[in-house]
Structure 1
């Protein structure tokens, strides 16, 4: 039986990515939906992208665009960067790309350009890196950057009263548009958690792999999940960086 498996923010943690795919016993029958932020954090961002390109040739993969992926693409194409990006993983990533030849860089550019802003499946489930702001849904979003930068969707879900009726006129309309919404972007470690967290109909699968948390893969149907070891333990040579 095929599964829809959702993978949280990887942030250059190639070793963790290998772990979760093995622990979830992924097969060619599964659909893999990656929520973005493949790079920046740990020192194997090029290896992650290499692996994802190869994975796509064998498995049914859908790749969302994360804000870090967009920043890397701009740097690879133009050589331009911001100090903020450097402070949040970009410096580690650019250093790792010094070992990558030009031909491979061009393949990575093509991969990054091919990423999706969002994916809406046959069950009206939305998969997006960060969120959206338009009250009529993703197809009406005015600013595409919101798909991989915004945080109000998750902040609203966290603040929502559990007892509130979805039919209440004050209930946030964004949560009524889709059966479920799967996001990353804002690590649940910010609220002291390291497992996928559900608020309203939103599932946050970013379990803090960029920092002290594990990487997670979640079955979208059953909500069973598998996790890597805490990523910092997989990169002892880089401890202190994050």
Structure 2
């Protein structure tokens, strides 16, 4: 089976609970649509886990972009593998304000080689992933697609794909996608009853970010099976 999740934000235990819930095995495939890191306590643990699995694939989120831009300022061992233009856009105060300090803490004490491996993994993540499951074409992107680019996702820049907050009831794409799956905005912020539940818009957008890191506010980790469209929560 093929599963999609997003916005783990360092919730390693929920991630493991979800894998157990769906009975995730070697024959299955999991896609993580951005924001593995920040806010939660165990970002490094999740990165190391997904890096060690051949059947887990990750798209970049805006918090991965935070990490890519700012982590070299914390760990000098990254200077030789970081893009200077990317690092020049860093703002570590802004990153810390958005939960980056907890990601940094999860990396402290680890070998330089491990930190470099995680950084390379994040740096090399694609901005979006396109797959076909059961004859249906899915585009997986962290935030969404700007309305004026809705039929031209391949022409979008990283900022658009990782930061935009689209109309979740719109129809996006033509030849490039049947369904657009996003995260980034917790669904309690866009539903009338503020329920932490996967949001299926009136068009062809599905938002799967159910606010996993915000447990105190009722947030959950949501997961969607693309063959059956069944939903899972922890």
Is TM-score (shorter-chain normalized) higher than 0.5?
yes
Contact kept? 1:40, 1:68, Cα under 8 Å: yes
* 1:215 matched to 2:225: no
DSSP-derived class of the 2:108 partner: helix
Match of 2:126 in 1: 116
Contact kept? 1:24, 1:217, Cα under 8 Å: no
Q: Unaligned 5+ residue runs, structure 2? A: 75-89
* 1:5 matched to 2:3: yes
Contact kept? 1:9, 1:38, Cα under 8 Å: yes
* 1:144 matched to 2:143: no
Structure-2 separation of matches of 1:136 and 1:217: 26
Match of 2:180 in 1: 181
Contact kept? 2:145, 2:160, Cα under 8 Å: yes
Tell me the TM-score normalised to structure 1 length: 0.79
Match of 2:108 in 1: 98
> Map of 1:15-34 to 2, 5 A cutoff?
15-34=13-32
> Map of 1:161-200 to 2, 5 A cutoff?
174-176=172-174, 178-190=177-189, 191=191, 192-199=194-201, 200=203
Contact kept? 1:76, 1:105, Cα under 8 Å: no
Contact kept? 2:152, 2:173, Cα under 8 Å: no
Structure-2 separation of matches of 1:91 and 1:76: 10
Q: Residues 126-155 of structure 1: CA distance to partner in whole angstroms, max 9, x if unpaired?
A: 1111112213321122x222111111x2xx
Alpha-carbon offset, residue 201 of structure 1: 1.0
Match of 1:202 in 2: 205
Contact kept? 1:7, 1:34, Cα under 8 Å: yes
Larger helix share, 1 or 2: 1
Match of 2:139 in 1: 126
Please report the RMSD computed on the Cα atoms of aligned residues, expressed in angstroms: 1.7
Q: Unaligned 5+ residue runs, structure 1? A: 161-171, 229-242
- Worse-matched range after superposition: 75-84 or 28-37: 75-84
> Map of 1:42-121 to 2, 5 A cutoff?
42-56=40-54, 60-79=55-74, 80-121=90-131
DSSP-derived class of the 1:207 partner: coil
Alpha-carbon offset, residue 176 of structure 1: 4.6
Change beyond 3 A, Cα 1:201–1:109: same
* 1:225 matched to 2:228: no
Runs of 4 or more consecutive aligned structure 1 residues displaced over 3 Å after TM superposition: 78-82
Contact kept? 1:67, 1:149, Cα under 8 Å: yes
Q: How many residues align?
A: 206
Contact kept? 2:151, 2:173, Cα under 8 Å: no
